[in-house]
Structure 1
Amino acid sequence: MSEAPHGAPIKTPGQLIAAVIAGFAVPIICCILLANYVNNTTRTGAGTEELSAQQITERIAPIAQVSVRDANAPRVYKTGEQVYQAVCSACHASGAAGAPKFGNSGDWAPRISQGFDTLWKTALSGKGAMPPRGGTSPDDYSDYEIRRAVVYMADHGGASFQDPPQPAPGAAQGASAAAGAAPASGADASASAQAAAAAIAALPQASAPAAGGATQSADASQAGKALYEQVCQACHAAGVLGAPKFGNKDDWAPRLKDPMDKIYNYALHGKGQMPPKGGSSASDADVKAAVDYMVSAAK
């Protein structure tokens, strides 16, 4: 049985011309489309954005920023949530050092039962491992802002306290002096507070250490103790977040292998979870005095 002969696909001159034109045109069209596709694709390789306006602006931006504000302008107070996030969450978010955990009604119930005024005064004067005002100063957060933070935390722990009304201009300082008085009373407490304040104020003019440099001056020692009780003990008293516990030789032994300048540097600039200067605005001299106070207790 014979097979039928195969016929050529191009049978006329017109088909031949069309095939030749298609053989040239199709590859050219494909090349043009491919070139357009490549040129329109966003390049994300390393270094492709180095000369963009945003990258250049970020590279030449100054490190320091100047903030100018009108001293006579009305003060803008932080909300309770903002104060909590900036200060209180360091301990209350996790319940560190015995602090009532945020949102835990079981932790907050016995505190709420004491009444709002007791909670507020405790926040201002400190209690246990919590330093007064959470380690801040009245220049950082006013009594009104601390009050807002207490309401914010207590309400999330089951209370129904009302947000306090905003103080009238000029009235905040008077309220701060009245409400921020420490609960401790008596001549001894007053004398101790005055001595600590005088020691801190006199620290820059403190005399040099005694012969041999074996001990601190009395003023520096008092200033270091005062700063420790106000700020450092929040973590160092109980060894919170890996902080070497006050008076614990085993905790301090590996740290004391370093030179004192290095230990001072850690305290001034922060290390691990410890913020610079413990989150305070104390002077370098006061911070060093507090370090000396803690080191001497661990020897």
Structure 2
Amino acid sequence: MGCLVTLGLSAGMAVAQDDAARDAIAERLKPVGELCLQGEDCGTAMAAASSGGDSGGGAIDGEGIYNNVCMACHETGAAGAPVRGDEAAWSERTGKGFETLVSHAINGFNAMPAKGGNPGLSDEEVQAAVAHLVDPVMDVPAQESGSDSAEGGEAMASAEPATAGIDGEAIYGSVCMACHDTGAAGAPKRGDAEAWAPRLEKGTETLYSHAINGFNAMPAKGGNPNLSDAEVQAAVDHLIGSVQ
């Protein structure tokens, strides 16, 4: 009986070892990536494979994303993909500029699916992967970190003119047109470059000030005190836009 128990345990251990060995071999033979072509449903299978970057802040790991998503084609030339480091294959493409290459990677191009088939990637992560891909064959612009990009977006938003989104043409049509389309009370007519030349020399800020506060026969804010300064500025922009 003792022999039978020993034989049973030995057989069980042998099966477990065989399973472990097969798993180890399968892991070693697993491909570094999967070929995903335009039009195929690649996102579900690959969504968990990527995101080597941290879009919340800090530098994005473009190399890690490239290895997970892009390597299968760009290391082998599959589906006509230019191989990383092949200057001859990349020369025409790099001539279009880095931004164009990033746009192709984000939106898809020829056989390459959008974002390499992984819709879970952010545009910044794709850009970082492209930067790693083309680094051997072109000068890559400096990449912003996630936090730098967010700060840059906030700065751009704060730098927008006060008149952004205001319909200056409509305000001009309801408040200013009566004089500036007819020349009434000596007002310079819209589109009359000669009449506007000496006024434009004073600068846009001066013209804004005159329109807001009144000047000569022109009442403050064209006679409509309910207008905000930004709305008056938008109307002035429309008025002088044809002669600048």
**Higher relative contact order (Cα pairs below 8 Å, separated by 6+ residues):** 2
Give TM-score, length-normalised by structure 1: 0.31
Give TM-score, length-normalised by structure 2: 0.38
Q: Which has the larger radius of gyration?
A: 1
